[in-house]
Amino acid sequence: MADKASTASVVCDLARQFYELGWVTGTGGGICIREGEHVIVAPSGVQKERMTPDQMFTLSIDGSVVARPADPSLRPSECTSLFMAAIRLRGAGAVIHSHSIHAVIATLLFDREFDISELEMIKGIEGMNYHDRLVVPIIENTSRECDLAASLEAAIVAYPRTQAVLVRRHGFYAWGRDWVQAKTQAECYDYLFRAATEMRRLGVPTVALKGVNDASLSNRPAEPFGRR
């Protein structure tokens, strides 16, 4: 239980930090952290920068509620089924959902895939190097958050090396083996989404015509992904 209490505190600390970054304003966005066979999930629709550890839910990996906060008005985050997709399909130890405006703008400038190469921050993403082409699939948004689960799962399967999925006009999901890597990768992705927007604004291509490591293309699906 000490571990769960500590993990619940980390969720609250990170949420405050993400609020400062503009990722979870308006009660949007969220985070979950796996703790053994359980997942600590924040409640839905609360001010993310003011959460306390006693407001957290403990879920099992299949999504059932193991322990819930005393306040009966709280429900688990609407992102829960999406969080579980990354945990189940990738063994993620933590998943972050951000409403970063940089991500949203990036999804307006790219079609089915966001891609960028030759920026140092690419190296912060698992398995990627400076000359690789980093590809992030973009899925279409839906009216209800839970309806995103199917297309998020499809994107995770179609892009076996991606550590994040963009949701058009909405934000992004990123994960990692533990909360430290999930946060590191989310920060790198967000930086890259912002850099790409600046590059487009200045007329600089985000992927150089030459010099891209083709081997990295193996992280793209054999067939076109998604349909708009």
By CB under 8 A, name the binding residues for its own copies.
25-28, 47, 99, 101, 104-105, 108-109, 118-121, 124, 129-131, 141-143, 167, 169-171, 180, 183-185, 187-188, 190-191, 194-195, 198-202, 204
Q: Which two tokens stand for residue 225?
A: 């992904």
How far, in Å, CA of 188 to CA of 214, rounded? 22
For the CB of residue 64, give the shortest distance to its own copies in the complex, in Å.
Answer: 26
Neighbour-count burial of 141, counting CB atoms closer than 10 A to its CB (0-12 exposed, 13-18 middle, 19+ buried) = middle
In the complex, minimum distance from the CB of residue 106 to its own copies, in angstroms, rounded to a whole number: 11
Residue 176 CA to chain centroid, in angstroms? 9
What sign for the dihedral angle of Cα 66, 69, 74, 76? Answer: negative
| CA within 13 Å, CB half, 31 | 31
> 59 vs 172, which CB is nearer to its own copies?
172
**CA atoms of 106 and 166, how far apart (whole Å):** 9
Residue 129 CB, shortest distance to its own copies, in Å, is: 5
Spatial separation of the C-alpha atoms in residues 42 and 77, rounded to whole Å: 6
Structure-block tokens of residue 21: 């970054």
Closest to its own copies by CB, 20 vs 62, is: 20
Task: Report in angstroms how near the CB of residue 185 gets to its own copies at its nearest.
Answer: 8
Residue 109 or 158 with smaller CB distance to its own copies: 109
Residues with catalytic function: 120
State residue 43 phi and psi, 5-degree precision.
Answer: -75, 165
